[in-house]
Structures are given as C-alpha cells and as structure tokens.
Amino acid sequence: CYISTISYANGSVRFHWAERPDPNTYGTGYMLGRVDKRLATIEVKSATAVLRAYKLEHIVSTTSGRSLLSKVTEYGRNAVITDGLVKSGSKLPPYQFTYKHNVFDQKKISFQIQKEELFAALIDDFDGNRVIEQIGWDTIKKKEGRDEYSYTCEPKPIANTPSNEALIKNSCQYYLDKIWTTQRRSDLNKYKKQLFFYDYEVCRENSRGRERCHRYSNTGELFEKTSRIADFDGDGKEDVISDNKQEFTKAIDQTWSNIKGSKIFDVNGDGRADLGELDAKYLYTRISNGTSGFISLPRTRMYSGLIFGDFNGDGLTDLFYSKGEHDRQIYFSSGLKFIAGPVIHSSSLGDILSDSVLVADVNGDGRADYIGNRKRDHTRLFLMRGDTLFHYHTEGHGDLIRDYPTAIMADADGDGFIDFITHGKKITAGFDGRATKLISERPDMLVGVVLPSGGQLSASYTTYGGDPEDERWFPPVLTVLAALTEKPNSSQAFTTRFAYSGGRWDFDNRRFAGFKQIITTLPKLAGETKAPTVETTYRQDVSSVGKIAQRIWKDGNGTILRKQVEEYSTDNSKLPYTSLNT
C-alpha cells in the first residue's frame, strides 16, 4: 500500500511511484509485506495548477544492490509530468547525494588457530574481543609400564579432567563421542564461560572374573551432549534445556524439561531463541513465550539441505531448501509461520552439496548470503538480492576463493564483519592459517551532499563495539559518524568531530540504549589555537533513552564556559513508561 494523494482545501500533494530493481519482503505476523516501488516524483498543486514538483533519482549500490537516493531536483510551475515522471520545466540546482557503496575489497588476512589437533574443538569468541578463539581437549602421553606409552585426554585450560587411570588403556580418538566442549554466557559480562564435559563408562574384569563398571560424568544431567544452550527468555543470559533438566534464568516454572527441537533460531525476531524439530517430511517450530515454555506454530513442509538465515533483512529467521541440483527454495518467516517464496534457479549451484553450505551476511547489508564449497575444493558465493541470488565471483570458474574450501564463517579480526575462514588447500580438514575478507567497511553510507547553493557537506565514519575497559557485553558493532565537514565555498572548510563512550545494550527491551556521552569537537574560529568542545551526557533508562541529561561547553583549554543540567520525573516500572522534563 503506497500513499497516493494528500488533499487540502485548496490543493494537494501527489506521490508518483516507480518500480524498483531491488524488491524486498518483510514479515507482518501472519503475512508478508512487500516493498517493490520507490518514489519517483512529488507533485504539489493548487486547486487548478501545478505549483512545483520534485524529481527523485536513484542509483543502485554495487555492494548491496539496494536503491540509493542520488538526486532531488525542484521544478517550477511549468513542470510537465507524464506517466508520473517530470519530463521538462524550469528547475533549481539539485541536491546531490554521494555514497560509498562499492566497498568490495577482497584480501587475505592471517588467522592462526592455536592448535589444530585439539579433540572436540569449539571455535567462538570467548573473551568478548569479537575475535574468535579455540578451545578443546588436548592429548598428553603418559607412561604405562616400562617402555609403553598410551594417549590420555585432558582439557585445556580447565583441569576438571576425567581420571587418567581410567583412560590409560584407551586412546583419545575412542572417546571423541564421549567428551565435548561448549560455552555459556551466564551473566551480562562480555566473557563466555568455557565448559568441558565428559560422560563415559569403563569396565574392568577383576581377579574373580567379574566385570566391574565405573561411570565418569560431570554433566549433572544439565549439560548433556544433546542439551540446547541459548537465550530463550531474552534477558541476554543463556539458558539450558536437556533431556532431564532445564535452567531458565527468568523461568517461573522450573519443573519441565526436554522440549523437542534441536535447531535453534529466532523465528519471530523478538530477541528470544526458538526451537525447530525436523522429521522426514516437516519442520515443527516452537517459539519461546519468554518465561517458562514454548508455543507451537504450524508445521512447514521440509526438503533436503535445510539452512536458516535472515534472507530478506527483516530481523526474522527464514528457511532455505535445496529443491534440486540447480534449484533453491526460500520460505520467508512472517513471524508466526513460514510462507513459500520464490524458487531460485542457477546452473552455478550445481556442484554445491547440501552438507557443504554456510550462511552469513558477508557484504554488510543485513541479509544472509549463501556460501557453498564447490566440489569441496573451492568457495563459491551468492549474495542475496531481493528475491534472488546474485552469483558474485572474482576467480575463474565462478569461484570466490579458488582451491580453498571454507570451513567456517566468523569474524577473524574483530572488525564486526564476517570473514571466510578456509581449510587447507583442496582439503576439508584443518585450517589454511588465513582468512579472506570481502568488504572494507559497511556499505551505502552517505559520504557527501552537494547543496543547491553550491556548498558541500562530507562525512566520515568509524565503528563502535563497546568501550574496551567496560566489562559489560555490548552485542552490536555500530557504524557511527566520526566527522562532518562543511564547505560553504571553495576556500573554506569547517570540520566537527564526534567521540562516543558508554554505549549500552538494553537486554530486557532488546534494543540499543544509546551512548552515555558524546563529545563534540567544534571547528576552530579565527584566533583560536585549540578547538572548543561540547560534552553531552544522555539518559539510558528505558523511558528516557536519548534524552539529554547534561551539557558542558568548554573552550580549547578545557575551561568550562557553560553548564546545563536537565532533570526528569520518570516511571520505568510499567507500561506506558513516562519521562517528563521538570
């Protein structure tokens, strides 16, 4: 539904729309919305004649494929509009907008896994620096008898190990299915707790020929190998569901356990993990109620090669199936059910097996992309563009990375963008020691404006992922304005710079709670040797997010020139939240 006309007593404003090359869908509960048009012309009329018109022009982003507004031109009373487009008429100089939309910068970077031989290894960001690390069970040699050696498993770096004596006569390889590693975020600090578990039985025959068995386990029946660990209640802390127990940090009822569903994903975009259970024909989805249980949704027909990801960028988890050698089917989440989307056909999908597919947003546009290892030897990339896949490649034979299959998709250097971490050359084991980056920065950021007067504005950006000294977990990496330069003419330029601190994530309401402080460094005026600053402190409580708490103006030497404090009467205890400036 697109707005057509706004009518007044003596005039109207009419909006003319054109087809856009980048249609997109979004979930609305039980239905899908669709955006397939973009604004082309705005027509302002009196009761009898055109007063003025605005022509909007667009470009298409190289990296994301999205429509970007590039020019707005105002036309006068003699504007001629045909089929919704301005064809002629007197006009003013336009507003022009420039974006940095081609940020493809493919390159290799170093990525060293600490020890490739670790058993039951797990790769994740454990210390909160956004760079992934590895944990696992290592092997040591222990002498048995005079000259005989056998392998014994022990976890690194935590020492809650199984009995070495019990494992003497068995190799680590034998115990791979009985030892495992995992992690859990049990508080809102940036660190994840590394967890090492074992559950096995050793039987020996005694001198009387009787077999005696001893079980060695440290799971406590909660951290079993089939346990699901995720934030099911939306408070930022991870919960656990096992066959015999569950531990929800916000649960009212703790007596239930073993809810079905081995697949973990957020179906409805509420920030709470949900569960999916597969059988030969269907996917059964259960969404978390946020306290002590799950609600079943309608089942969805299941095909081979099921993968999960947000393929249209609406914050909901969608499904992607292999329907044939060259065909893929999307099922978009509407929030409360899955709705069949288009079938995508491409001959380039032919040599990608369903068990070698990965999903990640690799170009920073907020949509999951499709990564496959062709013949298990080469990495092939398909970018999600609207309702279809765009085959992006830089190597021969249509590959993104030739001779190196991708092992995992993860942030290898902590810049907030997902990288391709590759196996060794033409093998699907071990690691290459390097990773491949695809983009240099977030695409489609506005970097320049040309005003009708001839003046110019230019912007530069940086990223913010939490204060390094802050132990609190800050999930997103934000792109923020670093500097804004104004050029009123060719001989003058004034730059304002911005510094950010105290960013906070509101886990209860699942949203960014703003920055605690932003320091604005103003341009130096004539006669000033140091630039003045404005230090603005903001509220971060739920009812007052983004409201100014205090402003301090300082000269270049740090002397306070003026201070302004704002006070509020708030109620953060119940809806509707209120915040009144007193």
Sequence ranges of the domains in the chain? 109-342+433-439, 455-582
d(CA 39, CA 407) in angstroms, rounded, equals 43
- pLDDT confidence of residue 429: 73
- pLDDT confidence of residue 272: 92
- pLDDT confidence of residue 293: 83
- pLDDT confidence of residue 158: 35
Report helix, strand or coil for 344. Answer: strand
Burial of 139 (0-12, 13-18, 19+ CB in 10 A): middle
DSSP state of 73: E
Averaged pLDDT, groups of 10, the chain, 582 residues long: 92 96 93 96 93 98 97 97 95 98 95 70 86 78 50 44 40 67 92 87 77 84 93 92 87 78 92 91 91 87 85 94 89 93 92 87 96 91 93 90 92 92 82 91 97 96 94 94 94 95 93 97 90 98 97 96 97 95 94
Q: Which string of DSSP letters, residue by residue, matches 264-305? A: EE-SSSSSS-EEEEE-SSEEEEEEE-SSS-EEE---EE--EE
* pTM for the model: 0.88
- pLDDT confidence of residue 375: 86
- pLDDT confidence of residue 170: 45
The two three-digit tokens of residue 475, written as one number: 């999930």
Closest CA to 432 of 459, 405, 409: 405
- pLDDT confidence of residue 1: 81
* Contact (Cβ atoms closer than 8 angstroms) between residue 361 and residue 369: yes
Radius of gyration over alpha carbons of the chain, in Å? 29
Neighbours of 396 (CB within 10 A): 8
